[in-house]
Amino acid sequence: MKIALIQFNPIIADFEGNVRRIENRVRTAADHDADLCVMPELALPGYPPHDLVLYGDFVAHNLAARDRMLRLSAELGVGLLFGLVLANDNPTGKPLRNSAVLCDRGKVIAVKHKALLPTYDVFDEARYFEPDSAPCVAEFRGRKLGLLICEDIWTDAALLGRIEYGSDPAQLCADAGAELLINISASPWGSGKHRLREQLVAATARRTGRPCLLVNQVGGQDDLIFDGASVVCDAQGKTVARLPLFEETLFIADPERGRAETWADDDIADEIDALVLGIRDYFRKTGHSRALVGMSGGIDSAVVVCLAAKALGPANVTAISMPTRFSSKGSVDDSRELAEKLGINFEVLNIDEAFELQRKLSGFPGGIAEENMQARIRGLVLMTRSNAEGSLVLATGNRSELAVGYSTLYGDMCGALEVIGDVAKTRVYEIAARFGAIPKAIIDKPPSAELRPDQTDQDSLPLYAVLDRILEAYLDDHLGADAIIGRGEDAELVRKILRMVEIAEFKRRQAPIVLRIGKRAFGAGRRIPVAKKL
């Protein structure tokens, strides 16, 4: 059996466009004698549609798109497996299903409803969908196919630790006679996630003794980045096909024969590609093309303009340097040098006069209030230009600083997208080293907000290597103060950092959308009360 894996990039609620994108690839697959074309989870509406599913016409749009797929199947004489949202026909339970339809030559052969609904990290599927634990094994051209949807194979305790579910849908399909397992997925990426996903597919194949094929969505969607990286394993768990990361791809596979491509073992390169895709798709899918970045002469804004230039093209990126009396000459000169190397637009707007006027209007508040005032003037300039030009502002805060509140609300936190908000400061330096255009002076200079004389970040924060180690333990591993101290960290410092994180929660809630690339989403994946005992 020749199976076409269609790894494509949908747009949420663009039913007509998504079907058209699928159709182009199905026609190509049919020309290559594919028997079955497999699309990702919720391929017709795109994933995740969130509360759009609650609107009354949403299911009707899914059904209309389904009917177009059936007509395509009839026209080309090819089988199709695709995901969509259907109504729950039962009188009780959630009103909707996360479903898959298998059709052949225009006729529906089977309808599969997702069994395991994730509710952790960025997922909230139980808010909308009713699960169905019954195995779905469908006869297709003489083969029995076990149909699974994404989370349905996330049941391997040896790989994942504690499992939230009491059933194993893949094993149930095998027990019901499935000869081949097919999983359609919309599994968002975090660093190294594609390798874990391949291990799960391989483990599922070995456990059930059946070949297992997974097709994953690709593309940026708000804060989430989907990597594709679809994979096929034979019944012994050997990988026989891998699809590329972060690219739309059509691949015709035989689950019992093939050749596995090699993914580069380079997490930093993967993170760069993910962030570039996240920027590009955010702009494309929201109908924008031009970006504005406040250029400070520091490492964070340097990395953001490099990513933006790669994602959008240099001509579509404008960097604005906004010095005050506290800004070093090198910060402006270094920014100009980087802009020239990248070929992006560059402007210098001295805001010292505006700063002095604001000081007078505010009664010369002094201290941190005046420091934040400078950042807020810069935010005002960027947002005003954004309003006037129709461009989008890219914020430049990193995770380390956002986590502890070392940022200015309505200042450097202004923007439509927080590009590196899920990137630890130490990782920012590693990413910067991959961009040869960034001047050595930017990389080597001590990090500083330059909001007062001789200021450095380490006046307020520990060394970033120490800070990032504590934040990883707290935010990613969910360890409390005592456990982190038990790892050998300074007790007073740990309690100080954790308190800073919790105090800054109100700021984080108001941050722009943060592109997620880490183990746990720092945006929607972290749900902590603002009002609480510290």
Say if residues 480 and 470 touch (Cβ distance below 8 Å): no
pLDDT band at 528, cuts 50/70/90? confident
Q: Would you place residue 257 in the very low, low, confident or very high pLDDT band (cuts 50, 70, 90)?
A: low
Enter the pTM of the model. 0.94
The alpha-helical segments, DSSP class H, found in 119-192 are 157-160, 169-175
R_g (Cα) of the chain, nearest Å: 25
**Residue 349, phi then psi, degrees to nearest 5:** -125, 105
Q: Of the listed 150, 173, 233, 414, which one is catalytic?
A: 150
Residue 531 has a pLDDT of 86
- Token pair, residue 303, equals 């990395």
> CB of 253 within 8 A of CB of 3?
yes
Residue 318 makes CB contacts below 8 A (sequence gap 6+) with 290, 291, 292, 293, 344, 345, 346, 347, 391
Q: How far is CA 186 from CA 49, 138, 354, 517, in A?
A: 12, 22, 48, 15
β strands within 355-428, DSSP E: 392-395, 417-418
* CA pair distance 316, 394, nearest whole angstrom: 12
**To 10 degrees, the CA torsion angle through 300, 303, 304, 308?**
170
- Determine the Cα–Cα distance for residues 254 and 213; give it in Å rounded to an integer: 10
Cα–Cα dist 55/53, whole Å: 6
Over residues 414-427, mean pLDDT: 96
Flag whether pLDDT at 121 surpasses 70: yes
Q: Where are the domains of the chain?
A: 3-257, 271-461+504-514
User: Any long-range contacts for 235-238 (C-beta under 8 Å, 24+ apart)?
Assistant: 235/205, 235/206, 235/209, 235/210, 235/211, 236/205, 236/206, 237/202, 237/203, 237/205, 237/206, 238/202
Edge to edge, what strands does the sheet with 291-294 contain?
A: 345-348, 317-321, 291-294, 392-395, 417-418, 513-514
Q: How far apart are CA 270 and CA 97, in angstroms?
A: 33
Name the catalytic one among 41, 130, 179, 401. Answer: 41
Please name which of 311, 305, 315, 313 lies closest in space to residue 336, comparing C-alpha atoms.
Answer: 305
pLDDT confidence band for 264 (50 / 70 / 90): confident
Alpha carbon separation from 350 to 313, 323, 391 (Å, rounded)? 27, 5, 21
C-alpha to C-alpha distances, 270 to 4, 227, 266, 275, nearest whole angstrom: 25, 9, 6, 9
Q: How far is 484 from 494, CA to CA, in rounded Å?
A: 7
Neighbour tally for 317: CB within 10 Å = 27
- Give the pLDDT of residue 220: 97
Q: What is the mean pLDDT of residues 324-344?
A: 93
Range 3-257 has CATH code 3.40.228.10: no
pLDDT of 449 strictly over 70: no
* Burial (CB count <10 Å: 0-12, 13-18, 19+), residue 341: middle
Helices then strands, counting H and E runs in the chain, come out as 17, 20
Write out pLDDT tens, residues 465-517: 999 999 999 999 999 999 999 999 999 999 999 999 999 999 999 999 999 99
Q: Is residue 3 within 8 Å of residue 35, measured between CB atoms?
A: yes
Check residue 219 and give its pLDDT: 98
Smallest CA-to-CA distance from 148 within 199, 188, 205, 108 is with: 205
- Of the candidates 18, 513, 22, 520, the residue with the CA atom closest to the CA atom of residue 278: 513
Query: For residue 167, what pLDDT is reported?
Result: 93
The answer for residues whose C-beta is within 8 angstroms of residue 27's C-beta and 6 or more apart is 76
Spatial separation of the C-alpha atoms in residues 66 and 82, rounded to whole Å: 9
CATH 3.40.50.620 corresponds to the domain 271-461+504-514: yes
103 carries an active-site annotation:
no
The active-site residue, picked from 103, 112, 114, 179, is 114
Q: Is the pLDDT of residue 259 over 70?
A: no
Q: Does 233 participate in catalysis according to the annotation?
A: no
pLDDT per residue over 193-203, tens digit each? 999 999 999 99
392-395/291-294 β-pairing: parallel
Contact 346, 301 (CB under 8 A): no
Residue 533 predicted with pLDDT over 90: no
Is-catalytic flag, 440?
no
Burial annotation 81-94 (CB, 10 A radius, 16+ → b, else e): bbbbbbebeeeeee
| Residues paired with 83 in a beta bridge | 100
Task: Give alpha helix (H) positions in 255-366.
Answer: 267-286, 299-312, 329-342, 352-361
Q: How far apart are the first and last CA of the chain?
A: 60
Which element (helix H / strand E) includes 64? helix 58-76
Over pLDDT 90: what percentage of the chain? 86
User: d(Cα 181, Cα 393) in Å, to the nearest integer?
Assistant: 45
Are 135 and 114 within 8 A, CB to CB? no
Q: Are 3-257 and 271-461+504-514 the same fold in CATH?
A: no
Task: For residues 75 and 69, give the distance between their C-alpha atoms in angstroms, rounded to a whole number.
Answer: 10
What does the DSSP 8-state code read for residue 163? -
Q: What is the pLDDT of residue 520?
A: 76
Q: Which of 445, 441, 398 is nearest to 423 (CA)?
A: 398
State residue 339's pLDDT score: 97
